[in-house]
Amino acid sequence: MKFITISDVHIKEEGDFSEKLFLSFLDQAKFLAVDKVYLLGDIFDLLVGGHLYYETIYPQVFLKLNLLLKSGIKIIQLEGNHDFHFKALIDKLLKKWQMSPEMWKYESSPVVEIVDGKRILFAHGDEIEIGNESYKKYRRFIRSGAINFLANKVVSPRITRKIGQRASHKSRKRNNIRYDEKYEEEKVRPLFRASAVQASSQYNASIVICGHSHCFDMHEEDSVYYLNNGYVPRTQKFFYFDGEKFESIKLDTSK
Ligand SMILES: [Mn+2]
């Protein structure tokens, strides 16, 4: 089985650099003739609730996803902490496109897949991160059934977008401190390496692939292989598994 995977693209609006990178990533799926594409969360900087409205905001992205599925390549979609509660959007699109639910699977928690005898854990990253208890409390609340209901049935996506744009403006200010290089090297990288080792025993997997930390890594420790493509607008990288080994590939947006 061959696959490609990416997380943390953070597409904000149509035509931005993140969108260009993501479209180029989707082109790689056909070029490399993979069987599956794993999207590990935070593909969008803000996408909450299953509204078809999002298809009109990002027409190019959904057109390309449609063509990908038509070519027989399957998608496994994990929630991030910027894009979640949108299973209904995928259900609606698949129905509209007359495609089987098997083609585009939606997961709200980490998944383990057995690939050529190896157990691989796919996660966004915040679910397996060690510590950060106040964030985890916030995460439980925001992922709850009540918020799912609000996002899908009550609040219009236009309003969600406005609220989220404010929130991401605030978190960008924080991120400037958090993702400072020295802090990344000394705190974030070791924390996520340790989190990957812990998650590997929790999920009984020898390979852990996640994002969220925005800190690129390909690291082997205690016979656990941990991969993280980092913050894509900066790293411009994704992972390719050719059936035997992993490769980190740089995206080309010049075309
Ligand atoms: Mn994240």
Instruction: Tell me the mean pLDDT per 10 residues along the chain, length 255.
Output: 97 96 98 98 93 95 98 97 94 98 97 94 95 84 81 75 67 58 84 97 98 96 95 97 96 85
How far is ligand 1, taken at its centre, from the CA of residue 83, in Å? 9
In the reported structure, the alpha carbon of residue 108 is separated from the centroid of ligand 1 by a whole-number distance in angstroms of 13
For residue 86, being part of any structural domain is answered with yes
Exposed/middle/buried for residue 96 (C-beta within 10 Å: 0-12, 13-18, 19+): exposed
**Whether the Cβ atoms of residue 217 and residue 192 lie closer than 8 Å to each other:** yes
255 found inside a domain:
no
Question: What distance in angstroms lies between residue 172's CA and the mean position of ligand 1's atoms?
Answer: 12
| List of E strands, the chain | 3-6, 36-39, 47-48, 74-78, 83-84, 104-107, 111-115, 118-122, 207-209, 217-221, 224-228, 237-241, 246-250
In a domain, 81, yes or no: yes
40 alpha carbon – ligand 1 mean position (Å): 9
Q: What is the distance in A from the centroid of ligand 1 to the CA of 127?
A: 10
Distance 67 CA to ligand 1 centre (A): 27
Gap from CA of 112 to ligand 1 centroid (Å): 19
Distance 97 CA to ligand 1 centre (A): 29
The whole domain housing 71 covers 3-250
Ligand 1 centroid–CA 175 distance in Å is 11
End-to-end CA distance of the chain: 28
Nearest residue to 214 (alpha-carbon basis) of 21, 5, 9? 9
CATH number at residue 180: 3.60.21.10
- 242 alpha carbon – ligand 1 mean position (Å): 26
CA distance 210 to 192: 9
Whose tokens are 């990957």? That residue is 196
Closest by CA position to 7, among listed 150, 128, 156: 128
Distance 48 CA to ligand 1 centre (A): 14
- Beta strand pairing status for 224-228 and 217-221? antiparallel
State the distance from the centre of ligand 1 to the C-alpha of 98, rounded, in angstroms: 31
Residue 169 lies in a domain: yes
d(CA 126, CA 57): 27
The total of structural domains in the chain comes to 1
pLDDT of residue 143: 81
Euclidean distance between CA atoms 217 and 127, whole angstroms: 18
Q: How far is Cα 116 from Cα 93, in angstroms, rounded to an integer?
A: 31
Dist. CA 42 → ligand 1 center (Å): 5
Burial class of residue 245 (count of CB atoms within 10 Å of its CB; 0-12, 13-18, 19+): exposed
Is there a contact between 11 and 61 (Cβ–Cβ < 8 Å)? yes
Decide if 25 is inside a domain.
Answer: yes
Answer yes or no: is 156 within a domain.
yes
The CA 173 to ligand 1 mean position distance, Å, reads 15
pLDDT in the model for residue 9:
97
At residue 177, the pLDDT reads 53
In a domain, 227, yes or no: yes
Both tokens of residue 171? Answer: 């978190």
Evaluate whether residue 23 is within a structural domain.
Answer: yes
Instruction: Tell me the CA–centroid distance for residue 95 and ligand 1, in Å.
Output: 29
